[in-house]
Amino acid sequence: MARQPVVAGRAEHLLGSAVVATAPVAGGDICTAVKLRLSTGRTAFLKTLSPAPPQFFAREAAGLRWLAEAAPAGVATPELLAVDPECLILEWVEPGRPSAEAAAAFGRALAATHATGASSFGGDADGYVGRLPLPNQPLPTWAEFHAERRIAPYLKVLRDKEILSAEEADLIETAAARAPSIVPEEPPSRLHGDLWNGNVLWTAGERVVVVDPAAYGGHREVDLAMLALFGLPQLPQVMAAYTEAAPLTDGWEDRLAYHQLFPLLVHACLFGGQYGARAARVAQRYL
């Protein structure tokens, strides 16, 4: 590890500890990430974005703190070491191999995090999913929140940019309006909100740590659908342990694709129309 003076200086200012060495970390497509070795012997993870959108890192930090309230039974999050408007510093998580035992423990921990609950469907402030704004103003029911806060904003972007055809957009809008007849009513759960494979870290200590939350109060099947969307190692073990700890209403497997409409629209906004077309095909199944 060499030492990048600018990055090291920023970290030293925030942490009050000397940075001995730094090394770039691959994997993110939004922020620049760096591994820090501190004079205390500790290792940390820094990510930065300049200029960052307003409250970008503050909202991530708030999400990590909110999820950490479910400890010790809930899903582990890295310790938050420092945050400022253009930077976030976390404890370093040493990567390991996915194991069936860690997967089962993760499933039980995720159930405990969800069970910690939320005061409403939504949150106390808007946030971000990836680099896109994430509206979180509360609404009385999950069906309303899903349609108005998770589908409509991104569908509008895709319509305005003509990434989706009018027919595809209408299919998705119609399917979103059918949530009351598709998704069983439940109290709001404490969601990670962006729980895809890349935000699930398998550690050398055979535990799972989650990062990069877009946390809010929502339907717990949403986090499970995100885990399934892009493939998670040991997913059957995670799901089995989850449903043993917190049984789901019958038919949940068939509803996972419905909950994937939102992340597919987000991906269409970020990466292109193939995700929008996929969302339209999913929507067709629920009409």
Catalytic residue numbers, as ranges: 194
Backbone angles phi, psi at 199, to 5 degrees: -100, 10
Cα 37 to chain centroid distance, Å, stands at 27
- 19-25 and 80-84: which strand pairing? unpaired
CB atoms closer than 10 angstroms to residue 262:
23
- Rounded to the nearest 5 percent, the helix, strand and coil shares of the chain are 45, 20, 35
Backbone angles phi, psi at 133, to 5 degrees: -60, 145
Structure tokens at 235: 């997913």
Left if phi > 0, otherwise alpha if psi is -120 to 50, otherwise beta: which for 242? Answer: alpha
**Residues 266, 278: contact at Cβ < 8 Å?**
no
What is d(CA 254, CA 237) in angstroms, rounded to the nearest whole number? 18
